[in-house]
Each structure stands twice: as C-alpha cells, then as structure tokens.
Amino acid sequence: MPKTQAKADPKTQYTLSGYIKDAASAEELLYVNVWVEPLKTGATSNTYGFYSLTLAAGTYQLTFSYLGYQSITKEIVLNRDTEYNIELQADAQTLQEVEISDKKADHAVREIAMSRLDVPIQQVKKLPALLGEPDIIKTIQTLPGVTSAGEGTSSFYVRGGAADQNLILIDEAPVYDVSHLFGLFSVFNADILKSAELYKGGIPTKYGGRLSSLLEVTTKDGNARQLEGAGSVSTLAAKASLEGPIVKDKASFIVAARRSYVDLLMSQIPDLDGTSVKFHDLNGKVNWKINNNNRFFVSAYTGRDVMRFDDDFQMDWGNKTTSVRWNHLFNERLFANTTLVYSDFDYALEQTDALEGFRWEANQKEYSLKQDFTWFPSPKFTLQFGYQGTYRQFQPGDIQPNGENTIFKPTTLQARYALDQALYLGAEQKISARLAIQYGVRFSLFQNLGPETIYRYNNASDNVNYIVSDSIRYKKGQTIASFANPEPRFAARYQLNASSALKFSYNRMVQYIHLISNSTVPIPFNTWSPSSPYLKPQKADQVAIGYFKNLDENTWEFSAEAYYKTSQNITEFADNANIFFNEHIATEFRQGKATSYGLELLLRRNVGDLRGFVSYTLSKTDVRIPTVNNDQIFPANYDRRHSFNLSMTYDLSPRWSIGGNFTYASGRPITLPTGKYSFGNYEANLYSGRNGYRLPDFHRMDIAATYEPGKNKDRRWKNSWVFGIYNVYNRQNPFSIYTRTKQDDEGNVIGDGTEKEARLVYLFSVLPYVTWSFKF
Amino acid sequence: MRNILFALLALLSLLACEKTIQLDVQQLEAILIVEGNVSNQYQQHGVKLTKSRPFGSTGKAPTVSGALVLVKDDANHEFRFVEKEPGWYVSEQAFAGMSGRTYTLIIEADGKSYQATEKMNSIVTQDSLSYRIDEEEMKDPADSARFYEVLLYVKEPQETEDYYLFNFYRNGKLENDEGRTIYFSEDKLLNGRVDGLPFPIYYAKEDEAKIEIYNISRNAFRFYSDLAANLGNDGGMFSGQPANVYTNLSGGARGYFLVAPVASASLKVAR
C-alpha cells in the first residue's frame, strides 16, 4: 500500500482499483460490496471481481463485504492512482465466535438491480437432491417467480415465460439444452460452479436475445495457490475435479468430469439387453492473470447423453461450448472484456435395419464476438457499453440411410443462417444518497441470411392445404429478412432507510430465435429457428416494483416484488403441428400474445447456522394465439396460480448438518378429453378447449443430512457423506394424464375395445439416496 | 418421431408409476361422426354415421338413423345411399370412383346438413409379395404357428407427391395391431424402391396374407397422422398438445370422408 506524507490537492481525482479474491484459493469474488467512508458511497465488484473507484484525493475507510466472508475495513490514503487488490477470508463454519464486523452484506437492499437471485451453490450441496445429485436447475425451479412443468424436468419458466425464453450462459457461452436424461438432471456439475445468478427482470443492457430471464453461470477459475481435488459418488453418477496453480497466483486450471452409471446397472438386468442410458460432462478452464491489466480465460464444456434401445435404435444429444476471454484495463477506470464464443448443440437418431435403417442428425452452431467496456468515471456514475455479434447456423435435419437395401433416400432440410448484432449503452447513476438509477438502451439488429430458398404460399397459415405459389432463391449472405429493435431498460432504487428500499424496473426484451417445440417440456429433438419472413421476433415489456427490507442486522432478507409483463409474437404452433423434418414448417407457426402478472414474496437467511429461504408466488399467465383454441384465451402450459417453497439447511454441529425442502404448487393446466368417438377400430378423443383442466396440486418434502467426520479438521484428505430421502411422505405427484383403451395390468384389452381410461402418471415415489464426497 | 416417443416412454416407465383415474370433465352435446369411403372398386360404397359420446362411456357408439346420404361427383353423377343397417348407409347402385374426379358427400341428419369433398387420386404403385420364415421368430414365436414373414415389394414414383394408407389382413381379417397402430406414410423420404419390407404381423402356414394400399390425399394423410397423434398422446408433456383430429367435414361433424383408390396384393403362405 502506498504511503506518502505529501498532501495532495483535494480537488484532484484519483482512481483506486483492483481485484477482490478469496484468500484461500485466489478465486475472484463477484458482486463484493466496497463501501467508502466518510463519503457514504460505494461500488461493487463486477463478474470478474474487478472494482474501480474514482475519488478526490484524501484518506478513506474502505469496507469490503461479501456474503459468507469476513468483512475487512482498510484505511487508504489516496494521493495517486492506486492498484489495490484484496483478499477476503471465508467465515468458516467452525469459527462461529469470530463475529462478522458491523458492516454486514446489505447488498439486496442497496443494489439497484431487482428481480435478481443468486443461487447459493454451497447450500445447494447440502439440500436434498434427486438421487443425490445436487442440481442448481432444480433449486432455481423453487425460486419465487419460477415454475416448472413437473419434477424430473430441467425446463424452467420465469414470470410466465416459455422454456426457450431463458438465456442460459456458462462462462458467457449459451447452452441450448440443459437436460440430461430428458431433464432428470441438468448439465451443470455443481462441483465446479462459482456462482449462478438468475435475472427475472431488470436485465442489464449488456444482455439480450431472450424474453424472460438470464441465468448466468460462472465456473471456478481453479485454485491458484495449491492443488485441490474433489469428487463424489452418488446413487446416479460419479464425478471428480482437479484444480491448481500452473504458475502460483498467476495461472491456474480446473478440470472436471462426471458420468452417470445407470447403464452399468441396467446391463445387469437381462430383460434390458441392449438397452442403455448414460450421460457424461467434461468441463475445463485455464486462466492466465499476467497482471491487473491483462488476464486471459479459456473455458470449455462438452456433455452428451446416449440412449440405446434393443441394440437397434439409438439417440444421443449434447452441447459443446467454448469461450475465450481477455480482460484488459485500458486504464484504472476503463475495464474491457473481449469474448469469443462458440456454442454447438446437436442431436442424432439412428436406427439399424437393412431396409429402414437411417441416421438423422440436426444441429445448431453459433460464433460470437462480444466487446464489453465498463467505464468508472466516478463512484456516482458507471457506464457500460459494447458490441455483440453472433453468426448463427441452423441445420434442422439431415437423414442418411444406412441399410444396404434401404427404402429411404438421403434427405437434407435447408440449413438456415442469421447474423445477430447489438450495440448497447447502460449507465448507473447515484443521484442522491437515497436515489440511484440505471438506464440504457440496447439496439439489436437481426438478419436472416441466405443461402436459402424461401417458399411463398397462397395461404401460409393453412398447414394442411397450403399451396406453394412461388419460391425465391437467396444467395449466400443475402438478407432474407431483417429486424431492428431498440430495447430500453430502466431501473431505480429509492433507499427508505439503512435497511429498506423501494425499487422499480422496466425492460423491453426481444428474442429473435425460436424453439420449435409444441410440447409442455421441450425435448432434445427440438430444433431452433431464426426469425424469418414467417416468424416475427418475440417482444416483451415488463414492469416490476419491489420492496426490500433487511431485518436483524441483515441476517434476514425480505423482498416483495410485483410484476406485469406483456409479450407479443410469442411462438406457438397449429394443432397437431408437424414440427419434425418439415420443409414447410412455416405453415405451422402461430404467433400471439401472452400476459402475465404476479406477486413474489421471499424471506431469506444467508448467515449463521440456519440458512435458506421461504417463498410464495402468486401468478397468472394467459395466452391468446389467433386460430389456436378457436381464438380463445387459454392459460399457458406452465401457469400455476400458487407456489410455496421452503428450503433450509441447519448446522447442528461441526459434524452434522441437515437440509430440507418443501415445495407446493397448484396443478399445471392440462387438456383433457371431453368425449370420444369411434372411427374404424379406433377410439379418438374429442377435445373442447386447450388447457381447460388442471392436474392435482403438486407437493413434496425431501430431507438430507450431511456428515463430516471430525478428523477432517486436521487432515488434508476430507470426506463427507450425504444421506437423503426424496419425497419423504411418498406423495404421488401428477406428471401427466394420458388416455388409452381400457386394459388390465398385463395389457389385455378389457371389454369390447371401445372403452377408454385415463391414466395418471407420477414419477418418483419415496427415494432414499447416499452420496459420498471427498476433497483434498 | 413415434420411435422417439416410444423410447421416451420406455425410459420413463423405468421410473414412473401410473394409475387409472376418473376424469371429471364437462359433458358436451353429442356430435355427428362420419366414416365414409369411396374407392376405385366397383362396389356399393358405405358411409357410417354415429355419435360422439362421453369419454367414460361403455359400449358401441350410438348410430344415427334416418339420415339423407348422397354422394355427387363433378361430372354430374349422383349416388343415393340407403340405410342398410342402423347407421350404416350404402350406395343403392354399385359404382367405381374414377381417378381425377371430385366427390362430395352430403348428409342431412337431425335437421342439419354436413358436407365433405375430396378428389380421387390414381393408383401409382405396383406391388407384389413374397414370404419367408423368420428364424428368430420361429425359435420363440409369440403365437405358436406364426413365424412366416410376408414381404412387400413396391415401386414408388418419385416425381409425384404421394401419401399412403396401409391395411394388413390375415385370412380376410384386418390385423392392424388390434387397432392400436395406423400404418400410413408419405413418400418424401422414400427412394422409390421397397424391396422386401416385412409386414408388421406374422403368418402361419396356409394363411392368406393381404395388403391394401390406398393412395390418399394430403388431407387424408393429415387426418391419419392427427389420429395417430390423438391416440398416442402423452397428455402434452413431451408430445404435442392434445388436439382434435383434422376433418374434411363441414357443419360441425367429425370423422373423415375418404376418397382414394386402393391397390391390393395377396398370397397364400407356404402352400
């Protein structure tokens, strides 16, 4: 730290900047509060752990505070531009007597952003998990304002938005399908995650492209001080990770692998000969932090599911993402980040047969360049601006016959291309001690590009009797359709007193790519489509107000938020739409409006022995799509009126901690047959409206206990056990209702074959599990 | 895609349980259901009129008697239908539907009128059959004597857009998997050569095997593909949202008036 006796001119401004790290691993810490006395102003570290404060020359007391860490107050004499990196100590559970300093984290109240929730990764690991595999997506599904279609799925629906309206980023790279085993688990291996933040609204101008939410997942950089390893064996999967320095404090790495072993168990069951189900994930990241001015990160993920049935049918799917980032400080006040991103999702279906054998593949790829700047001219004003460009390539289907005597011909659907660009500018301004605002705009430009042949139809919305009247051939790079939109964003915080604030936010979001799925839960065989002459960009406007209050010296956080959101051009499909391998899928598109509103209450405790949250959400989402459901309004597939969640962990002793979940949600809407009719030997269902009925309510309780042997304290090798029970009271929670010809348990038809019955499907009965984990 | 859904359900069945429940749904007024067929065969063609009924009802569909049923073509021919059995109407005269002609079905029942129009395609395929023993099936036949596979050979024209409906018969009895599976196809993925595609059912020695191939319209293809989706829907979770089946009838009736030429091939197994 610089020490100088010379009195600087108090009118001169100097910049204090640096990185905030964890003292043990040298991992940068995100969103750390930096509070400056006597100015009573502050800053927050960004997603790379960087902060910058430009102040008049003088002597200041700086307090660095971060949830789960001991706050540090330092006196700093500022008389020239100063680089000041600081390390924070995690408040170890065993050192309860070391009380955190008087400045506790009051971030939720003080920050301008609202509708943003961080997923406490460490806590997720102590909470009960399906088959012992901790999963952030399952925790996200219990947050206020988020609903799920049912247990065993990895889709989530934010404030009335569809499953494809969430931008899910891992180290800045988008992940298009987060499901393993059709959603039983997500692709995120909890062992390597540093943070996960869900934005339900008030989304910064830096992000766009999805209507409803942003889930920003950041992986660990890897311990830059010492080699560390971790691993676990659960009922479902085994995983291991290794991290450590390459050059101490300068460069480090982390690698992680996870593999399910259901297939190994299944191979023991003779009836399932040739049938297997498996998935794996691989994550890797290296970083090189040359100095404060230049830092590089390379991060990659790949994962895949492979399912084989009876040795002659296979399906597989997976994501590959890579991001390369360069943090550069032009000067202490101008932080720049350059990101190159590659993301690829693909699936394949393969059938082995001499006549009917084929391999069907589809994929989509994107290549992005993001150039982001943050300028910190004063503690009262921060400016973010930048450019993002993405080239997208969609291959909706390619079928290659593989039988020697095949009946099929090789068939490839047209690939589709798009260029997606945006310029953004966002300011954060502290107007007074009480009032702070964020405002800005994102200009997005989307071009659907050739090469492609676009068909013209006599009636494009008739999916049965369409007639192709003409076709236009667009050359490579030629613009087929282009769309431009300003996306204004605004947020304000008014501090009522030290522990409470009122907040407001408005944002417009535009989504240019659409998931082609007409099911409630998307499946990995759904492809995406760019906006085109037949598919308009989706747009949403959301306003939200909130009241935030911290209680008992910031031990408890309470928030109440209400929102109202209208969406235009949300993408739906005609009844019985043929969305697979359809050259004329344009005739199946239907677009319309959605309206959602809701109230979300959250009480959260983030410190001490007892941690967790209790939340309640009241919400309603209605959809109106011309020609669908006879033009009548219907509730969205994932509309649930009430949901209540309780999620807690409690440290009983240094060895034992317990965790529990309770979740309740109103049943989701479902379309049930109101009649039936005979046609030939078939009994078809007759429907009188979409989503006119509801499944029974959903509720479930899970418990878990974590045991850390006492000898862990003195040993480098530490291990722990988690014992849990999923669905403690064995509730048969409804998943779906389907209908069939009435039959007995052996599948023999009862009666004359005209009788039908409705079957309620429920997934998990009471499921105990054990997970063993180790760390060194 | 049916393969995928099957596979998916197989996976889910490892984890899922299910039980029969009673549906508490509103009761709607019954509507007219039409099952009509005009083919290129010289015969008396039939139209069946029934009513829809509540989901949980038992027994056969109630028939609709006393209706006026008429088929007209676009060459000013008119074919009157008479009620032969309750709800079963057949043309007074035998006639053969002609390729390229458009047929309109007109029904007047319970004071309301209903119509459907469809054009007759041409026969475009040439089919033949052969048989062989399925060694695997012979080792462990599901039905003791049935281990003969019947193979289909078809030349499919590539220059036209065609849609097909298949019916499989064993000794004159329709055997489409106990009415659970509908066999239909479009030709966009076919290379025109079907050399020995096995029937979905097995035959015993001396059985008569027969296939009917209808060259149906795009509308009819839609009807059958919707019907298959309607029957195999999982409640909208992974399959599309449950929906009514396409119909070519106007006036609020459902069902289908199928106008299609049929080609058939048959053989006696291992005679």
Q: Measuring CA to CA, which residue among A453, A513, A514, A511 is closest to residue A478?
A: A453
Spell out which residues of chain A touch residue B50, defining contact as CB-CB under 8 Å.
677-678
Contact A565, A538 (CB under 8 A): no
B250 in contact with chain A, both atoms CB, cutoff 8 A: no
Which residue in B22, B47, B237 has the most chain A C-beta atoms within 10 A of its own C-beta, making it the best mutation to test that interface? B237
The answer to whether position B88 is within a domain reads yes
Q: Measuring CA to CA, which residue among A755, A767, A679, A691 is closest to residue A731?
A: A767
The answer to whether position B233 is within a domain reads no
- Does residue B57 share a domain with residue B189? no
Task: Give, in words, the CATH class of A13-103.
Answer: mainly beta
Residue carrying structure tokens 């008049």? A56
CB contact set of B51 (below 8 Å; sequence gap of 6+): A677, B30, B31, B32, B33, B61, B62, B63, B64
In CATH, which of 2.60.120.260, 2.40.170.20, 3.40.309.10, 2.30.30.40 is domain A217-775?
2.40.170.20
The answer to whether position B72 is within a domain reads yes
Global ipTM: 0.94
Res A96: pLDDT: 40
Dist. CA A241–CA B93, nearest whole Å: 81
**Per-residue pLDDT at B73 exceeds 50:** yes
CA-nearest residue of chain B to A742? B20
Structure-block tokens of residue A724: 């849990």
Contact A333, A377 (CB under 8 A): yes
| Mean pLDDT for all residues in chain A | 91
Dist. CA A396–CA A582, nearest whole Å: 9
From B120, B154, B169, the end of a domain falls on B120
Chain-chain contact of B229 with A576 (C-beta, under 8 angstroms): yes
Coil/strand/helix, residue B259: strand
Res A270: pLDDT: 66
A124: DSSP letter: H
The answer to whether position B239 is within a domain reads no
- Does residue B185 share a domain with residue B108? no
Taking residues A446-465, report their average pLDDT.
Answer: 93
B241 in contact with chain A, both atoms CB, cutoff 8 A: yes
Contact A634, A597 (CB under 8 A): no
Of residues A445 and A740, more confidently modeled:
A445
Res A656: pLDDT: 93
Res B141: pLDDT: 79
Q: Where are the domains of chain A?
A: 13-103, 116-216, 217-775
A467 in contact with chain B, both atoms CB, cutoff 8 A: no
Spell out which residues of chain A touch residue B153, defining contact as CB-CB under 8 Å.
none
From B90, B120, B150, the end of a domain falls on B120
- Does residue B134 share a domain with residue B104? no
Structure-block tokens of residue A221: 């950089």
| Mean pLDDT for all residues in chain B | 90
- Does residue B179 share a domain with residue B115? no
Taking residues B94-121, report their average pLDDT.
Answer: 96
Res B91: pLDDT: 97
- Does residue B142 share a domain with residue B201? yes
Taking residues B181-191, report their average pLDDT.
Answer: 91
Chain-chain contact of B18 with A741 (C-beta, under 8 angstroms): no
Taking residues A31-38, report their average pLDDT.
Answer: 89
Spell out which residues of chain B touch residue A682, defining contact as CB-CB under 8 Å.
179, 182, 227, 231
Res A750: pLDDT: 87
Question: What is the count of structural domains for chain B?
Answer: 2
CA–CA distances in Å: residue A116 to residues A113, A203, A614, B197: 7, 9, 16, 58
Which A residues in the span 727-766 are in contact with B, Cβ-Cβ below 8 Å?
732, 735-739, 741, 749, 751-765
Chain-chain contact of A411 with B194 (C-beta, under 8 angstroms): no
Dist. CA A730–CA A176, nearest whole Å: 33
The H-or-E segment that residue A230 falls in is strand A228-233
Of residues A584 and A182, more confidently modeled:
A584
**Per-residue pLDDT at A107 exceeds 90:** no
Whichever domain contains B190, its CATH number is 2.60.40
- Does residue B136 share a domain with residue B99? no
Taking residues A169-189, report their average pLDDT.
Answer: 93
Res A549: pLDDT: 94
Res B8: pLDDT: 60
HSE at residue A307, side-chain half, CA atoms within 13 A, is: 21
- Does residue B85 share a domain with residue B38? yes
Which B residues in the span 142-171 are in contact with A, Cβ-Cβ below 8 Å?
none
Phi/psi at A152 (5° precision):
80, 15
Q: Which of B3, B11, B244 sits opposite A687 (nearest CB)?
A: B244
A767 in contact with chain B, both atoms CB, cutoff 8 A: no
A455: DSSP letter: E
Least confident of A92-96, A191-195, A312-316, A726-730: A92-96
Taking residues A297-301, report their average pLDDT.
Answer: 97
Which B residues in the span 73-112 are in contact with A, Cβ-Cβ below 8 Å?
none
Residue carrying structure tokens 């590659």? A342
* CB neighbours of residue A291 within 10 Å: 9
pLDDT in tens, A63-78: 998 877 888 999 999 9
Res A100: pLDDT: 39
The answer to whether position B7 is within a domain reads no
**Per-residue pLDDT at A4 exceeds 50:** no
Res B6: pLDDT: 54
- Does residue B88 share a domain with residue B110? yes
Dist. CA A310–CA A469, nearest whole Å: 45
CB contact set of A401 (below 8 Å; sequence gap of 6+): A357, A358, A407, A408, A409, A410, B191
pLDDT in tens, B116-142: 999 999 988 888 898 888 888 888 877
Phi/psi at A180 (5° precision):
-115, 145
Q: At A469, which amino acid appears? A: S
Contact A527, A516 (CB under 8 A): yes
From B120, B154, B179, the end of a domain falls on B120
Res A9: pLDDT: 59
Q: At A369, which amino acid appears? A: L
Q: Is the peptide bond before B54 cis (omega within 30 degrees of 0)?
A: no
- Does residue B162 share a domain with residue B93? no
Res B1: pLDDT: 47
- Does residue B206 share a domain with residue B77? no
Dist. CA A370–CA A47, nearest whole Å: 15
Taking residues A17-27, report their average pLDDT.
Answer: 91
DSSP secondary structure string for all residues of A148-161: -SSTT----EETT-
A686 in contact with chain B, both atoms CB, cutoff 8 A: yes
CA-nearest residue of chain A to B151? A355
The H-or-E segment that residue B6 falls in is helix B2-15
Spell out which residues of chain A touch residue B255, defining contact as CB-CB under 8 Å.
677, 679
- Does residue B112 share a domain with residue B146? no
Res A6: pLDDT: 44
**Per-residue pLDDT at A585 exceeds 60:** yes
Dist. CA A228–CA A221, nearest whole Å: 12
> At A120, is the pLDDT very low, low, confident or very high (cuts 50, 70, 90)?
confident
Which residue in A157, A182, A407 has the most chain B C-beta atoms within 10 A of its own C-beta, making it the best mutation to test that interface? A407
Coil/strand/helix, residue A493: strand
Taking residues A175-197, report their average pLDDT.
Answer: 92
The answer to whether position B251 is within a domain reads no
pLDDT in tens, A337-352: 999 999 999 999 999 9
B177: DSSP letter: G
Domain A116-216, classified CATH 3.30.428.10, yes or no: no
Least confident of A307-311, A665-669, B79-83, B246-250: A307-311
The answer to whether position B143 is within a domain reads yes
- Does residue B136 share a domain with residue B264? yes
B212 in contact with chain A, both atoms CB, cutoff 8 A: no
Dist. CA B58–CA A757, nearest whole Å: 11
Taking residues A129-154, report their average pLDDT.
Answer: 91
Structural domain of residue B55, as residue ranges? 30-120
